[in-house]
């Protein structure tokens, strides 16, 4: 019996080490209803914050003050259904839970990973953007995620004869040391 207790105590201490890091992955796409994961792009100039100006709330039950770094990734595709090239850009928008307009650059929202595209007529192009977050890289966005629940959106700006934007993956990953107070 004492050996079992000592073994369990050792396992607990190893799990509580100051160097122990936990990585949490959030499937942001799971918060977006299936029927809202595609966006039709009309002819002409088009600017939209997707899935809406208020973004998608990603609820976190606690503030992540133990956070050391993070990463936001999106994947999808652009399809040009028109007769001329579809040009434009997209970026990830991130904001605190209290900000309900992710396109006004006030209230705390920030843009990340602005990427240009040029899709030939009748063609499709896969898109993939990964943004790293830390105290030294994209620190404003890093602090938004550290504070707890946040909002996320994608801003799409396009010139075309029509097309489609399909989101196939969206993920946030954070890594932290829960026992960082132990030196």
Domain ranges, ordered by start, for the chain:
20-176
- CB-based burial label for 173 (10 Å; 0-12, 13-18, 19+): middle
Q: How far is CA 180 from CA 16, 18, 98, 148, in A?
A: 9, 5, 29, 18
The torsion defined by the Cα of 50, 136, 146 and 29, in degrees rounded to 10, comes to: 30
* pLDDT tens string 132-164: 999 999 999 999 988 888 999 999 999 999 999
* pLDDT tens string 89-118: 999 999 999 999 999 988 899 999 999 999
Distance separating alpha carbons of residues 65 and 97, to the nearest angstrom: 16
User: According to the CATH classification, is domain 20-176 in 1.10.287?
Assistant: no
Distance separating alpha carbons of residues 152 and 52, to the nearest angstrom: 10
Q: What's the whole-model pTM score? A: 0.81
């Amino acid at each position: 019996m004492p050996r079992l207790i000592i073994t369990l105590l050792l396992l607990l201490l190893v799990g509580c080490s100051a160097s122990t890091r936990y990585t949490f992955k959030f499937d942001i796409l799971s918060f977006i209803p299936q029927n809202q994961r595609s966006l039709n792009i009309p002819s002409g100039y088009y600017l939209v914050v997707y899935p809406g100006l208020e973004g998608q709330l990603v609820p976190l039950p606690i503030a992540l003050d133990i956070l050391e770094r993070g990463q936001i990734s999106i994947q999808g595709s652009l399809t040009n259904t028109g007769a001329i090239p579809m040009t434009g850009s997209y970026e990830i928008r991130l904001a605190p839970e209290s900000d309900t307009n992710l396109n006004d650059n006030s209230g705390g929202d920030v843009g990340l990973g602005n990427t240009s595209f040029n899709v030939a007529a009748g063609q499709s192009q896969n898109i993939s953007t990964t943004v790293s977050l830390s105290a030294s890289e994209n620190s404003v966005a890093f602090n938004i995620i550290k504070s707890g629940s946040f909002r996320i959106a994608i801003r799409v700006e396009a010139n075309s004869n029509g097309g489609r934007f399909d989101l196939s993956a969206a993920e946030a990953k954070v890594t932290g040391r829960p026992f960082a107070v132990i030196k």
